[in-house]
Structure 1
Amino acid sequence: MYADKGTAGRLDVDYKPKLPRDLTKGIGIVGAGEIVVHAHLPAYRMAGFHVIGIYDKDHAKAEAAVSGYPGMLVFASLEALLEHPDVQIVDIAVPAQQQPAIAKQAARQGKHLLCQKPLAETYEQAKELVEVFASHGTKAAVNQQMRWSPGIQASRSIMERGWLGEPLQAAIQVNVHTPWENWPWLTHISTLEVMYHSIHYLDSIRYVLGLQPEYVYADGARFPGQPYRGETRTLIHLKFPGEVRALIHDNHNNRMPQEDWYATFRFEGTQGIVKGTNGALYNYPTGKEDTISLYSERLEKGCLYTPKLEGRWFPHAFMGTMGELMRAIEENREPVNNAADNLITLQTVFAAYRSMESNRPVYLEEIDRLPVT
C-alpha cells in the first residue's frame, strides 16, 4: 500500500517553460490556421513575446487571426514578412508539404526558425533542410511542443534527477475520438496517425528517457468505414539499448462518451515510476490540466506523491518551444528541440511506416542511410 502524500507532498519538478531574458525579439508567423489561433498566439501573449505580424495566403484568415491583437500586422506576402527589419524569428505553421520552401527562403534571409512538425514529408527533405540551416547559420527549432506539456516536462525533470533510477520502460496509451475532418487536408493523406499525432509520443518518449531507439516495430490499421485515407489506430514497439523498451498504443475511433476516453503515460525506472494523464485529450477540445503521480525508492519509501501541475499542453507548452529557441539565440547555442535532433524523431516515424509495410522491426540506421535527393 502506498501512503499518499497528495498535494501536501510537493516536489519541485521544474516543469514550467523557461523564457528568455529578452522578450522583444520580433516574431513573424507564417500560417493562420486553427493551431495558430488557439495555441501559438495565446501562448505568446501569455509569455509576453513580441509578435509583429502574420502572413497567410488566405488574407481573410490572417485578418481574422489578428483581430484580437491590436497593432499586429497582416503581411501581403511572405516576402514582405521576411523583409520586415524587426522580424528576427519566423514561426512556420503550415503543412509539411509547404514547409521546406518557406524555411529555405527564410534561412537565406538570415532568419531564425521555429518549424512545424513534421519537419518535412520525407526524411530526405528534412535532412536537406538541416544542411541548409547549418550553411546559413540559422538556429532552427521544431515545434515538438509536447515536450513542454506539464506532465511530460515534469517526467523529464524527475528522470534527470535520478529519482526513478535507471530508465527501464515507457508507455503512452490513447483511446479517444479525433475529428480529423477539422483539418481537411489530413483526411486525404496515407500517413495520418503516426506522422501527425504519434510523432509527439515518439519524440516525448526519447526526450524523457534521454535515449535513442535502436529499432521500431509498428502496425497501423483503419476503422471500418472511416472517411480518412490513412491509419487511425497504431501499435508501436520501440527497442532501446539494453533492456529499455517502450510502447505506444493509439486509437482515435472511440465512439463511447468522453467519460470512457483516456490518454495516459507511464515511465518506469529501476527505482520508481512516474505516471499521469495528458489532459489535452480529455473533454476534447476543451481539455484539462495534466496530472502526475510519482513513486520513488530514492525519496521517502512507500509514499506516492501527486504534485499538482499548472498549465496545459494547449496552449502553455507553446511557450516552451518558442522560449527555448529564443533562449538558444540569446545564449548562442543550439536549442534542445533543434532540427538536427528532430531527425532522430523523424527516423522513428519513417521506420514505423516501413515496419508497417514490411511487417518487421526496422532499425533507425536504415532510414538514415537514405540518400538526399
Structure 2
Amino acid sequence: MDVNNQAGWLDLDYKPKLPKDLSCGIGIVGAGAIVQACHLPAYRMGGLNIIGIYDVDRDKAEAIARQFGIPHVFDTVERMLEHPDITIIDIAIPAKFQPSIVEKAAAAGKNVLCQKPLGESYEDALHIVKSCERFRVKGAVNQQMRWSPGIRASRTITERGWIGMPTQASIQVNIFTDWSQWPWITQIERLELMYHSIHYMDSIRSVFGTPEYIYADGSKFPGQVSRGETRSMIFMKFPGECRGLIHDNHNNIAGQDDWYATFRFEGTEGIIKGTNGALYNYPDGREDTLQFLSQRIDPGYWFSPKLEGRWFPHAFLGTMGELMRAIEEGREAENSVQDNLLTLQMLFASYRSIEENRPVRLDEIGS
C-alpha cells in the first residue's frame, strides 16, 4: 500500500454527523459558561434550530439569547415544554437538578440531551432512564469527549482492526485547573471523577468496550479550595489480557509548558497515540494530534493524519447530532441514557473502590 497516498483509505470518519433534517427544535435549560462557550458555538457550526433558552437567572439567559440570536427566553421550564416546535430539551445544569427536569420533559413528550454525570447517584440515573422509557422518548447524555477528534479517530482505527487485538489503554493528564471558577463545584464531596475523569472512562469504553472491574484512588492537594478529590488514578481490567489506566492530576504547579494531556491505545499489531489539545491551554485549546502504527498496513511507518477540531466546542455537535439522528432514524442513540448506565457503573465502582480500598466489579453497582 502506498503510505504517501492516504487521502481516500485513511479517512478516519471522526467528525460529528448530523441528521438530514436540521429543523428539529431545541430548547436549552441553563445559561452557564458551558452553554455560552461550547453548546451554542457548536450548534451554530451545525446550523441547528435553537428555539429558546431558560435559566433561573433570566438576565443571563437574555444575554446569551442576544449573543446567539435565540428567539425565545422562557420564564419557566414548564413554559418551554409547552412550545409546540421544541422536540429536544438540552439540559445544562448540575446533575442533582436533572432527574426532575427530565421527568417533566419526558412527560411532555420531549426528547432530552442530559448533562453528565447522568446522576449524582446510580439511583438518580436509573430514575432518568425509567422516565425516558415510561414516556417513550429518547434520552442521550452529553458525554462529548468520545466525539473529540483524537478519540473518535482512535475508535475508527480500532474498529477497522488496524491495531489487532486491544491490549492496553491509557489517558494521562497533568494540568492545573482553577476549580474556583465554578463555585458550586468546590463545595461538593465528589469532584474530579464525577465531573472530569468520567469523560475519560466513557472515552476508553467507547474505544475498547466495558471493563470487568476497577481499582481506583482519589486524593486532594494540600491547601486546595475544593472539598472533593482533584487527583485520581483508575486501573481497569477488561476481559482477557486487556488493561486500562487513567491518571489525572489538576494541580500541576510548573506552568503550561509542563502540562500534558495524552492518550494511548495499544494492540497486538499496532499502537495509537495522541494529545487532547483542548487541555493544553484551556479554555482556548488547540487541535488534537494523532499518530498510529499498524503492522497490518506497514510495520515500520507511523501515520500522522491531521485532525480538524477539538473537544471544545466541536465534540458538542457530536452528542446532539447523534441524538437528532437517532430520532430521525427511529433507533437508540449511541450515547443513550441506557448505554450511559455502563459509564455510571464505572464511575460509582471507582468511588466504591476508593472508599473500600479494593477492586470493584461493575456488576456490583446497582445490584
Q: Which category of TM-score, normalised to the shorter sequence, fits these structures?
A: over 0.9
Q: Paired residue for 2:176?
A: 177
- Alignment RMSD: 1.5
Q: Paired residue for 1:35?
A: 34
Distance in 2 between residues matched to 1:9 and 1:86, nearest whole Å:
40
Q: Paired residue for 1:197?
A: 196
| Among 279, 282, 285, the residue aligned to 2:280 | 282
Q: Paired residue for 2:132?
A: 133
Aligned: 1:213 with 2:211? yes
Distance in 1 between residues matched to 2:65 and 2:131, nearest whole Å:
31
Distance change (3 Å), C-alpha of 1:48 and 1:194 = same
Q: Is the 8 A contact 1:274 1:292 kept in 2?
A: yes
Distance in 1 between residues matched to 2:29 and 2:353, nearest whole Å:
34
Kindly provide the CA deviation profile for residues 188-220 of structure 1, in whole angstroms up to 9, marking residues without a partner as x. Answer: 0110000000000000001011x2111110010
Instruction: Note the 1:302-317 alignment, pairs <5 A.
Output: 302-317=300-315
Q: Paired residue for 2:12?
A: 13
3-state DSSP of counterpart to 1:218: strand
Distance in 1 between residues matched to 2:95 and 2:68, nearest whole Å:
27
AA partner of residue 160 (structure 2): R
| CA shift for structure 1 position 134 | 0.7
| CA shift for structure 1 position 70 | 2.6
Kindly provide the CA deviation profile for residues 276-335 of structure 1, in whole angstroms up to 9, marking residues without a partner as x. Answer: 000000112110000000100111221000000001111100110000000000000000
Aligned: 1:80 with 2:91? no
Distance change (3 Å), C-alpha of 1:178 and 1:10 = farther
3-state DSSP of counterpart to 1:125: helix
TM-score (normalised: structure 2)? 0.97
Listed as ranges, the gaps of 5+ residues in structure 2 are none
AA partner of residue 91 (structure 1): D
Distance in 2 between residues matched to 1:245 and 1:9, nearest whole Å:
33
Q: Paired residue for 1:252?
A: 250
Distance in 2 between residues matched to 1:10 and 1:183, nearest whole Å:
44
3-state DSSP of counterpart to 2:50: strand
Q: Is the 8 A contact 2:53 2:70 kept in 1?
A: no
Kindly provide the CA deviation profile for residues 141-168 of structure 1, in whole angstroms up to 9, marking residues without a partner as x. Answer: 0000001000000000111111111111
Kindly provide the CA deviation profile for residues 124-145 of structure 1, in whole angstroms up to 9, marking residues without a partner as x. Answer: 1111211111111110000000
AA partner of residue 25 (structure 1): C
AA partner of residue 236 (structure 2): L
Q: Paired residue for 2:352?
A: 354
Distance change (3 Å), C-alpha of 1:71 and 1:284 = closer
Distance in 1 between residues matched to 2:25 and 2:12, nearest whole Å:
31
Aligned: 1:146 with 2:145? yes
Aligned: 1:102 with 2:101? yes
Instruction: Note the 1:319-358 alignment, pairs <5 A.
Output: 319-358=317-356
Q: Is the 8 A contact 1:5 1:306 kept in 2?
A: no
3-state DSSP of counterpart to 1:274: strand
Q: Is the 8 A contact 1:6 1:306 kept in 2?
A: no
Q: Paired residue for 1:365?
A: 363
Q: Higher relative CO (CA 8 A, sep ≥ 6), structure 1 or 2?
A: 1
Distance in 1 between residues matched to 2:81 and 2:328, nearest whole Å:
21
Distance in 1 between residues matched to 2:285 and 2:5, nearest whole Å:
22
Distance in 1 between residues matched to 2:71 and 2:30, nearest whole Å:
14
3-state DSSP of counterpart to 1:202: helix
In the TM superposition, structure 1's runs of 4+ consecutive aligned residues that sit over 3 Å from their partners are: 4-10
Q: Is the 8 A contact 1:176 1:253 kept in 2?
A: yes
Distance change (3 Å), C-alpha of 1:71 and 1:346 = closer
Q: Is the 8 A contact 2:42 2:313 kept in 1?
A: yes
Distance in 2 between residues matched to 1:66 and 1:8, nearest whole Å:
41
3-state DSSP of counterpart to 1:287: coil
Q: Paired residue for 2:227?
A: 229
AA partner of residue 129 (structure 1): I
User: Number of paired residues?
Assistant: 366
Distance in 1 between residues matched to 2:112 and 2:325, nearest whole Å:
13
3-state DSSP of counterpart to 1:110: coil
3-state DSSP of counterpart to 2:308: coil
AA partner of residue 225 (structure 2): P
Listed as ranges, the gaps of 5+ residues in structure 1 are none
Distance in 2 between residues matched to 1:279 and 1:6, nearest whole Å:
26
Distance in 2 between residues matched to 1:8 and 1:319, nearest whole Å:
24
Distance in 2 between residues matched to 1:71 and 1:279, nearest whole Å:
30
AA partner of residue 228 (structure 2): G
